[in-house]
């Protein structure tokens, strides 16, 4: 296995695990505090964006160079508003309305959309192993969420809308920033993406007061808020960074371990029930990840070259 591919696999697996952990943490925050989805996102995006850019600046990287190229910063703004903000807000709102695991189910409609995009854009069907892996991963997610019965999913219309927006946002931020990442690196793109998204949301949600929110938090909830911000930020950096080493479709499918992690954390921490079919679903997702960790097939090579 090539070093670049191995690095990409490590990045996406760790990033997916962190995102799987962040969902239950956010769900817990909504249960224990009065913080809203928008308030949480403003805090996460602004603090994370500033932190990433500050670290890059300390390391002597020119963080403002991208703003000297109009075509580049226009793409960056599009990524920040539609990809970064759109995906995160839709996901977190779905968590608030339903729960972390259900939000993850909708997010994983993304690989289906990406597969369709790749097939149409590059005029090549996915390889057999990828088709099988897609079926295995989606079947596993179905069992994890429903415990074998679609009737167990009870969602409001607004939850469905935000869930579908989560899938679209997931697909967009996987595909759109590939050329930006190749030229500027994932930390810079994620840092600016988060900061711009946070500023846009802050302007939309005026008035906003950090002090007012801080006054409602305890040491415990403040700690969990910090962990939610840290895990979510690292997840985005690793996920988008993995796109330099893996194809968008492969990256999105490998991240299917997210619901498995979310379910495990939800069971052990939030005391949610876990049925036999859900155990089967977890095993199917692990099987899909193992299958996708095999050497790349032709489609992934073509897709990565075209996107780059």
Interval 214-247: pLDDT, tens: 888 899 999 999 999 899 888 878 887 887 888 7
Per-residue b or e along 152-164, where b marks 16 or more CB atoms closer than 10 Å to that residue's CB: eeebeeebeebbe
> Residue 75: in which H helix or E strand, if any?
helix 70-78
CA 232 to CA 230: how far, in whole Å? 6
Query: Mean of the pLDDT values across residues 157-175?
Result: 86
Longest dimension (CA), the chain: 56
37-84 confidence digits (pLDDT tens): 888 899 989 998 999 999 899 988 999 999 999 999 999 999 999 989
* Those residues with Cβ within 8 angstroms of residue 24's Cβ, 6 or more apart along the chain or in another chain: 100, 262, 265, 266, 269, 270
Percent over 70 (pLDDT), the chain: 90
Q: What is the DSSP letter of 245?
A: T
Q: Which domain holds residue 240?
A: 3-307
> To the nearest 5 percent, what fractions of the chain are helix, strand and coil?
80, 0, 20
DSSP per-residue letters across 262-296:
HHHHHHHHH-----HHHHHHHHHHHHHHHHHTSPP
Residue 297 pLDDT > 60: no
User: Taking the chain, what is the end-to-end CA distance rounded to the nearest angstrom?
Assistant: 20
Six token digits for residue 140: 């596993």
Give the HSE-up count for residue 86: Cα atoms under 13 Å, Cβ half-sphere: 19
139-156 confidence digits (pLDDT tens): 887 887 777 777 766 567
Number of domains in the chain: 1
Percent over 90 (pLDDT), the chain: 26
Distance of alpha carbon 198 from its chain centroid, rounded?
16
Tokens 């690196």 sit on residue: 185
Q: Give me the pLDDT at residue 18, please.
A: 92
Six token digits for residue 165: 């927006």
147: left (phi over 0), alpha (psi -120 to 50) or beta: left
Does residue 73 have a cis peptide bond before it, meaning omega lies within 30 degrees of 0? no
Tokens 């999913």 sit on residue: 153
Does residue 45 have a cis peptide bond before it, meaning omega lies within 30 degrees of 0? no
Tokens 């963080």 sit on residue: 63
CA 258 to CA 271: how far, in whole Å? 18
241-283 confidence digits (pLDDT tens): 887 888 766 776 677 788 788 888 988 898 877 677 877 887 8
């Amino acid at each position: 296995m090539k070093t670049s591919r191995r690095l990409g696999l490590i990045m996406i697996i760790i990033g997916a695990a962190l995102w799987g952990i962040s969902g239950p943490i956010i769900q817990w925050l909504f249960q224990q505090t009065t913080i809203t989805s928008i308030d949480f996102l403003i805090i996460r995006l602004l603090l994370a964006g500033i932190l990433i850019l500050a670290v890059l600046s300390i390391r002597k990287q020119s963080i403002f160079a991208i703003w000297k190229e109009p075509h580049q910063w226009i793409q960056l703004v599009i990524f920040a508003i539609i990809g970064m903000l759109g995906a995160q807000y839709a996901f977190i709102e779905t968590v608030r309305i339903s729960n972390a695991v259900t939000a993850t189910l909708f997010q994983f409609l993304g690989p289906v959309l990406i597969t369709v995009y790749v097939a149409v854009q590059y005029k090549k069907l996915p390889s057999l192993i990828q088709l099988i892996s897609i079926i295995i991963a989606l079947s596993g997610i179905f069992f994890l969420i429903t415990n074998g019965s679609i009737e167990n999913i009870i969602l409001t219309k607004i939850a469905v809308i935000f869930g579908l927006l989560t899938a679209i946002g997931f697909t967009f931020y996987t595909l759109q920033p590939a050329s930006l990442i190749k030229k500027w690196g994932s930390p810079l793109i994620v840092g600016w993406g988060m900061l711009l998204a946070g500023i846009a949301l802050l302007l939309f949600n005026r008035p906003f007061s950090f002090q007012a929110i801080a006054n409602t938090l305890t040491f415990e909830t403040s700690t969990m808020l910090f962990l939610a911000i840290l895990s979510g930020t690292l997840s985005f950096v690793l996920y988008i960074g993995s796109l330099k080493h893996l194809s968008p479709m492969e990256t999105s499918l490998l991240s299917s371990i997210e619901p498995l992690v979310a379910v495990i954390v939800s069971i052990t921490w939030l005391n949610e029930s876990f049925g036999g079919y859900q155990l089967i679903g977890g095993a199917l997702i692990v099987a899909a990840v193992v299958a996708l960790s095999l050497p790349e097939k032709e489609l992934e090579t073509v897709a990565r070259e075209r996107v780059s």
